[in-house]
Structure 1
């Protein structure tokens, strides 16, 4: 049996129907994962300092809180390797169900951690532990969700279909931010005591819905056909991570081309929110403005991905990086204005740039690897990009800002440096939109 034969066994109508179901599953799964993961980032910039690091100064508490945010990014590559290995050996679907369950349970438990006033430093230890568990789960989620959509898709629409996985990130951010905004309207003492916990506990509802949808989708036809071929040939390939690391250049290219996108994402999700509040705006107003930007980002990501199916992944991603280099200082200026409309405009414009880098990314990374190691390779490349570009960015930006006497100059230069690195890598890599996935 060849891969092409297996794919042709499905009628066009059946493939279209199943592809839509898989895309919905990927979108909902990614929404849950990023609801939990990015909700943590917002809470880290506003809540965890006074709740779990109350013995430190406000600035030191914020930096320590954002340090726990980085712990999740450190764990993501390990999640990509672990889930990727079994996803390439056993199948995409079962690993996605497991990743979703782990993430949902970890987030619920974060909402139940007692404050430092009750259990002292154990609160921070539990917080960091559960953040690492979150990181492992999201490390396994993205690769499988993106590949399920990509490998079910019409080759002419791969970028668009795979981008629904990435569109789950701003969707999750919108839901998480709106939930946190609702409870941020409480009196400060109530918000810090119990209000911030409710959005984390609400993960239970999203988990039930996500598991129901995900349990009903079929395995990737490209993976299934490749697995059947290996059985017929009675061959056993090397472990997927071994195959990937035999050509580490591919992983490094994927990570380098995409790291700036995560730097931009986390810069505005953490430092940007805190900076706008520092400028005199209320927390609920800033969170509402951020949610508006993320809502627009859903459609921008999908639109840019569709454009990348026509003109290529690289031109779209490069345009987003150039836009961010040009706009970074004006955007922070708008955030410091204290005007809700201008702050919302800043978050929307940031997504105009970020969406161009993030929309084509799911296809761009996945198209770099062959079927037998695609889950592992794509997950590792993506998660290394998140670690290098996003994991330490909040701490670095907060430290640069505090260390320079609240100057934006080093903050902007750091974001620009990330954009230049990714732009340089993209300029020297191949275009992937027309590759045949059954042959790589």
Structure 2
């Protein structure tokens, strides 16, 4: 059956289904990012001395961040594996699997013996579990984006697709909140001994809730239409590389700046505050907590606004602001004033939100419907390797090598320039290419 042939049946998608898809996308990515964020925060304040002990604290931090990078480096494997399956067998089944992989890996990290108990094997096992986390998350994002956006009207894709983008700040909010509460309730000795494990073990409860939401949801109307007309790709990965080269490059590059900016504010700032300024751990944790709370509202707002104005233009303005902000952020942090530290992190993650909110829709729009899971997953995971994976390592190494935050700021600026290049290579949505074919297959009830 040709790609041009569509089913004649008309299926209405009620608004309740749109909301369920939005919640399923948000909750799943929030749970997986809770798992990932718990590790990110723990890498900065706990995992170094427990799994990679060293007489030099900076060395232990570098080793802990190395396992942080493993979680990014394994994402392309998840993107290749699950992106391909998402275009071949459907979004829903793949998303249930990715949630299980990340949740089980996080639970096992919470049970893992430390270096003091089993020696170097502790670090090896931690790296393996971190690798599994990355594989699960690598296959999660592309499907979560499509889960919400493919239920909605393409003209409102910026808002509906932002559901998956809210997941990181929501997960980060939960992770930092749990760790901050544990830090307040426990002594440093108790927290380092067993308290940090509680945050990892809580993921078991969260995964059960996420599975309940996703199992009840039906497959997306877009994939049903593709399946009905017999247009599922047989080799989606090779087809993306062969026919979607420019869209893939644009989607990869547009992600670099936001990834680096996020790593700066949610990971490296914690290390800078505790190791360079000798401030208490909770100073940075609470600042990230407050900023993540703002992002919960800013990201859907940015997604909605990108439906009203040019999506690339909005994204580009935020990228320019992100390129400049580190040169304001660090002077604010260096004052050691808690209100100014909070201001710096909140504004920086606000600029990130106005890139990240529209990002899901922008990336999805670069690829044809039948290759969107594969294309989006590859873009997301490959960008993570050159963006978020190495950023904390480079931040720490640059600060140690040059002794000044200025080089860290310059690195963020370069990353945002790379994002601007990606936006220039990308395309704006083409409603005539999407609304008509989809509306002949199903109607979306949006009021």
Whether the TM-score (by the shorter chain) exceeds 0.5 is yes
Secondary structure, counterpart of 2:169 in structure 1: helix
CA distance in 2, matches of 1:420, 1:196: 37
CA distance in 1, matches of 2:256, 2:348: 16
CA distance in 2, matches of 1:283, 1:104: 26
CA distance in 2, matches of 1:118, 1:366: 46
Q: How does 1:237-316 map to 2 (within 5 A)?
A: 237-247=233-243, 248-277=245-274, 278-316=276-314
* Structure-2 residue corresponding to 1:171: 170
CA distance in 1, matches of 2:66, 2:394: 10
CA distance in 1, matches of 2:8, 2:256: 34
Q: Deviation of residue 387 (structure 1)? A: 1.6
Q: Deviation of residue 23 (structure 1)? A: 0.7
CA distance in 1, matches of 2:425, 2:246: 13
Per-residue deviation, residues 147-186 of structure 1 (Å, max 9, x unmatched): 1111111122111000011101100000000111112232
Q: How does 1:43-192 map to 2 (within 5 A)?
A: 43-185=42-184, 186-192=186-192
CA distance in 2, matches of 1:431, 1:7: 29
Q: Deviation of residue 428 (structure 1)? A: 3.7
Q: TM-score, normalization: structure 2?
A: 0.93
Q: Which runs of 5+ in 1 are unaligned?
A: none
CA distance in 2, matches of 1:395, 1:120: 24
Specify which of 311, 315, 318 is matched with residue 317 of structure 1: 315
Q: Deviation of residue 370 (structure 1)? A: 1.4
Root-mean-square deviation over aligned CA pairs: 1.8
Q: How does 1:335-350 map to 2 (within 5 A)?
A: 335-350=333-348
Secondary structure, counterpart of 2:431 in structure 1: coil
Kept in 2, the 8 Å contact 1:3–1:226? The answer is no
Secondary structure, counterpart of 1:359 in structure 2: helix
Per-residue deviation, residues 378-427 of structure 1 (Å, max 9, x unmatched): 1001111122110000000000001112x111111100000111112213
Kept in 2, the 8 Å contact 1:275–1:335? The answer is no
Residues 1:7 and 1:304: Cα distance change in structure 2 (over 3 Å): farther
Q: Deviation of residue 434 (structure 1)? A: 3.5
Higher relative contact order (CA 8 A, sep 6+): 2
Greater displacement, 423-432 / 207-216: 423-432
Secondary structure, counterpart of 2:349 in structure 1: helix
Kept in 2, the 8 Å contact 1:88–1:374? The answer is yes
Residues 1:174 and 1:285: Cα distance change in structure 2 (over 3 Å): same
* Structure-1 residue corresponding to 2:423: 426
* Structure-2 residue corresponding to 1:196: 196
Q: Which runs of 5+ in 2 are unaligned?
A: 439-447
CA distance in 2, matches of 1:32, 1:59: 30
CA distance in 2, matches of 1:164, 1:413: 31
CA distance in 2, matches of 1:196, 1:250: 42
CA distance in 2, matches of 1:279, 1:259: 28
Kept in 2, the 8 Å contact 1:313–1:433? The answer is no
Aligned length: 433
CA distance in 2, matches of 1:153, 1:425: 26
Kept in 1, the 8 Å contact 2:162–2:361? The answer is yes
* Structure-2 residue corresponding to 1:227: 227
* Structure-2 residue corresponding to 1:327: 325
* Structure-2 residue corresponding to 1:41: 40
Q: Deviation of residue 329 (structure 1)? A: 1.4
Per-residue deviation, residues 109-160 of structure 1 (Å, max 9, x unmatched): 0111111000111111111000000000001111111011111111221110
